[in-house]
Amino acid sequence: MNIQLLPLSPQSPYFDGAISVYRQSTGADVDSSHQFFTKYAESKADYVGLVAVLEDDTVVGMTFGTQSAPGDWWHDRVAEAVGAAHPALQDAWVLIELHVRQDCQNQGIGTHLHDEVIARQPYQKLLLSTGKSNTGAKRLYERLGWQYLHPGLALRTSSSLSVIMNRNLDSE
């Protein structure tokens, strides 16, 4: 499978395709997904987003992240759990989303997206969260050198638990 990784922004011709991949994974609605993607792409520091596209222009994966900073909802929830002064939270970048279309998983696309978005972001300290029950994602991140920072946190009051993971590129 020949995949191109291209920049993801609201101006990209692949923006709606990336949202479609995200919605397939999360069940989110179109309008809130569009607002979510646009907010990060247009207003967050050090945003990096990529889309995985086949030769026929079909979007099969997407990823993006930004600086993790005090005042951001996710950062503040994690800081409450591990302590705002925790070294992993200082001057860090958070991988916010990484999704591959279900029929294209286990073909190296997620790893390719991960490695390229990490290579393009400017920080040495990295963070992410994924569902505690998402064994596939946890296995991928473990294989790629991520460590567990918190074993299970309810990021939203009505949500299932998420693990918080970190990675320090300085120590690799």
Instruction: Express each pLDDT in 52-101 by its tens digit.
Output: 999 999 999 999 999 999 999 999 999 999 999 999 999 999 999 999 99
Contacts of 118 (CB under 8 A, 6+ apart): 95, 126, 169
Cβ 57 vs Cβ 92: under 8 Å:
no
- Nearest partner of 39 among 79, 83, 73, judged by Cα: 73
Residue 171 confidence (pLDDT): 84
Digit-coded pLDDT (tens) for 126-155: 999 999 999 999 999 999 999 999 999 998
Residue 92 confidence (pLDDT): 98
Q: Give 10's DSSP letter.
A: T
Residue 109 has pLDDT above 70, yes or no: yes
Domains and CATH numbers, the chain: 3-171 (3.40.630.30)
CA atoms within 13 A on the CB side of 47: 15
Mean of per-residue pLDDT scores for the chain: 95
Residue 158 confidence (pLDDT): 67
Cα–Cα distance for residue pair 162/171, rounded to 1 Å: 25
Contacts of 51 (CB under 8 A, 6+ apart): 5, 6, 7, 8, 12, 14, 15, 17, 18, 59, 61, 62
The Cα-based distances of 166 to 101, 113, 151, 161 in angstroms read 24, 17, 12, 17
| Overall average pLDDT of the 43-51 stretch | 95
| Overall average pLDDT of the 20-32 stretch | 95
Cα–Cα distance for residue pair 113/98, rounded to 1 Å: 8
Residue 16 has pLDDT above 80, yes or no: yes
Beta-bridge partners for 131 = 162
Residues of the chain above pLDDT 90, percent: 92
Neighbours of 137 (CB within 10 A): 19
Cα–Cα distance for residue pair 14/140, rounded to 1 Å: 25
Confidence grade of residue 159 (pLDDT, cut at 50, 70, 90): confident
